[in-house]
Amino acid sequence: MSQAEAIVQIIIEVGPPHYLVLGAILFSLGVLGFLVRSNVIVLLMCVELMINGAGVTFIAFCRQMGSLEGQIFVLFAMVIAAVEIAVGLSIIVLVFRGRATLDADEMEVLKW
């Protein structure tokens, strides 16, 4: 067996457990980043990582069960996450204009 055939065999053997581990890693990195960092834009990116990790896990379970409803649900969740980020970034821009900082610790109250 050549090296190329071995690589193809490894790629073919990727199954649901691998996707579940990937989803768990993405979600864990998002939680860790959200708890450790204080920049608001990084916090939004960490929320996106958590949503994507949950989506990968959900897709893996639905694929194993042969269901398309889960993929449609994840598609709607991705659309809602994109809208959430757009609204969040617009709020961040407005707060940055008034306070000139993106540090979450200094944005305790959303008063102008």
- pLDDT single digits (tens) 66-90: 888 888 888 898 899 889 889 988 8
Phi then psi for residue 110, to 5 deg, are -90, 50
CATH code, residues 3-106: 1.10.287.3510
Distance CA 77, CA 49 (A): 13
pLDDT at 16 over 80: yes
Distance CA 47, CA 53 (A): 10
DSSP string, 70-111: HHHHHHHHHHHHHHHHHHHHHHHHHHHHHH---BGGG-SS--
Show me where the domains of the chain are located: 3-106
The residue count for the chain: 112
pTM for the model stands at 0.76
pLDDT tens, residue by residue, 27-78: 999 999 999 988 888 888 999 999 999 999 988 888 888 888 888 888 898 8
